[in-house]
Structure 1
Amino acid sequence: MDSYDDRGVGGRDGRVAGPDPGAVPTVPDPGAEADPRADPEPSRIPSQSQSQSPVPGTGTGTGGAGPRGDAGSESRSGMAGLSFPYQVAAAVALAVIGLVTCTQLAMVFLHVAPSNTLTKQHGKGVDEWVYPEFEQNWKLFAPNPLQQNVAVHVRAEIAGPDGRRTTPWMNLSGEDGKAIRGNPLPSHVQQNELRRGWDFYLGSHDSQNRANGLRGTLSEQYIRRIVMLRLGEHDYGGTVERIQVRSEVRSVAAPPWSDEKISTKPSYRVLPWWNVTAADLPEGSADPKETDQ
């Protein structure tokens, strides 16, 4: 019986290569990489159409053109998109706005700040900047309790066909009160014009009715115009030559349940007579001198 090695099949010496009886079989390492020379699976082989498609973000492929939105072709926005002259104009405008804003903040700060070296040296300039447009009224946030009723009265000297005569005192504040009562939406003029005008006058004059600055003249003109507007609503049968204004102040009476004794006797502050000029009349009105003639 021939042995296995004596069969004339296969190898260089006519023997079939069999296992070496003395060799130890090896176990393949599961972590070892696959042989790169091995053929890939058919499902992983890219088709011809896929291999020719361009890679996103590159300029290769059938199209040959890169995506739009390239950094070099993007249009500029904002000030960078303007021409040089417009850029200069915009920069100058922004600089002016910033300078005015900083100046406004500084002036208002100095106006409301306590007295200091800067306000003592430049107080007049600060006041000219602030008044009257940026006047601060802190009573809006912390109003004083109402303890007095203040009414503004006026009387006029009329020149008519029968000579001159003086009208009785007319309560302008009372007329404003009548217009407000029962009105669900009273106007700002009815509520505040006369009251704020009188407060403006008191704050710019001393107890002898002498103006304490430029605001004194302005407040006097304001009161005179308000008075002439109110008198223009009445027909006195002649021309208003002079006017006189006074204030009536009464303390608010104590409530019925209170034992506090408060005098409600009025006190008056009477202003001098003012000659009516053309500047005191409403727009479109004739001069009193011309009307009298």
Structure 2
Amino acid sequence: MDSYDDRGVGGGDGRVAGPDSGRVPTVPDPRAEPRTDPDSGPESGPGPETESGPGPEPRVGSEPRTGIAALSFPYQVAAAVALAVIGLITCTQLAMVFLHVAPSNTLTKQHGKGVDEWVYPEFEQNWKLFAPNPLQQNIAVHVRAEITGADGRRTTPWMNLSGEDGKAIRGNPLPSHVQQNELRRGWDFYLGSHDSQNRANGLRGTLSEQYIRRIVMLRLGEHDYGGTVERIQVRSEVRSVAAPAWSNEKISTKPSYRVLPWWTVTAADLPEGAADPKETDQ
């Protein structure tokens, strides 16, 4: 019986028997690309599997630009100008409000009028909400007028000016600061400069009275009473805020009134442009 080597299956030197038994087989390099024959295509036969490595590294500077850098040059200039204007307005607003609430100093003494013109009426600061004893009353300002018309002289019913302001504010997502505070602050101004007998207690008493009369005539001008307003009378209605349902506190919500005397309307009380300039001078 022939041995395994004698049958030409394999030799001791590792060579395979056959026509080309003189050559030693080689192992293909896995990193080498497969050879391609122009007629038959890629080399047939299963090739060694290779692990896919990381792709080529991205080139420096190939990331997409974002933000203002992604805009064209004219838009970049416009965006920079807009940001500068917004920043300037913001800084000015903060500075004006700070000077408004700060104690009296050199800047406020020299430029106090300019600060007040910037702050009032839209940026007024009111800290009553954080006071030790916040306001717990609802105050409404009413007015009635004496009208002279074709049917003679008559007196109108009381008109709730504060109620009209409330209707203008209610449901309005951006109510005017004037609608919210003009009448209320004017009435506070009057109360602070008059005693309980409606007598002025300082130099600002006359000014506060003129302010109230101007506001009232502006509101009356929005209504047609069919005649000329000769006199007006103002009063306030004060009601305490009711206690909540879970509280045992008993608070009376009955209204109390403060009625001012009748005021004769003059040309100075009329809105600008509604009076004869000669009458206003007189």
Q: Give CA-to-partner distance per residue, 1:107-131, whole Å, 9 cap, x none.
A: 979xxxxxxxxxxxxxxxxxxx99x
SS state at 1:249 partner: strand
Change (3 A) 1:178 1:141: closer
* Residue 262 (structure 2) pairs with residue 273 (structure 1): yes
SS state at 1:176 partner: helix
Larger Rg: 1
Q: Equivalent of 1:202, from 191, 212, 217? A: 191
Q: Equivalent of 1:160, from 149, 157, 164? A: 149
Q: Equivalent of 2:169, from 157, 180, 195? A: 180
TM-score where L is the length of structure 2: 0.54
Q: Take 1:196 and 1:252, find their aligned partners in 2: how far apart are those partners?
A: 20
TM alignment of 1:24-173, pairs within 5 A:
105=105, 139=127, 142-143=130-131, 144-173=133-162
Report the residue type matching 1:256 in the other structure.
A
SS state at 2:196 partner: coil
Change (3 A) 1:145 1:175: same
Number of residue pairs the alignment of both structures matches: 165
State the match for 2:216 in structure 1: 227
* Residue 266 (structure 2) pairs with residue 282 (structure 1): no
SS state at 1:233 partner: coil
Change (3 A) 1:163 1:233: same
Q: Post-superposition, which runs of at least 4 consecutive aligned residues in structure 1 deviate over 4 A?
A: 106-109, 132-138
Unaligned runs of 5+ in 2: 1-103
Give the drift of 1:140: 5.8
Give the drift of 1:259: 1.5
SS state at 2:105 partner: helix
Change (3 A) 1:140 1:147: closer
Q: Take 2:196 and 2:108, find their aligned partners in 1: how far apart are those partners?
A: 29
Unaligned runs of 5+ in 1: 1-103, 110-128
Root-mean-square deviation over aligned CA pairs: 2.7
TM-score where L is the length of structure 1: 0.52
Give the drift of 1:138: 6.9
State the match for 2:29 in structure 1: none
Report the residue type matching 1:203 in the other structure.
G
The percent identity for this pair of structures is 84
Give the drift of 1:214: 1.3
Q: Take 2:263 and 2:194, find their aligned partners in 1: how far apart are those partners?
A: 16
Q: Take 1:176 and 1:190, find their aligned partners in 2: how far apart are those partners?
A: 6
Q: Give CA-to-partner distance per residue, 1:103-159, whole Å, 9 cap, x none.
A: x626979xxxxxxxxxxxxxxxxxxx99x9599977368444231000000000000
Q: Take 2:125 and 2:260, find their aligned partners in 1: how far apart are those partners?
A: 25
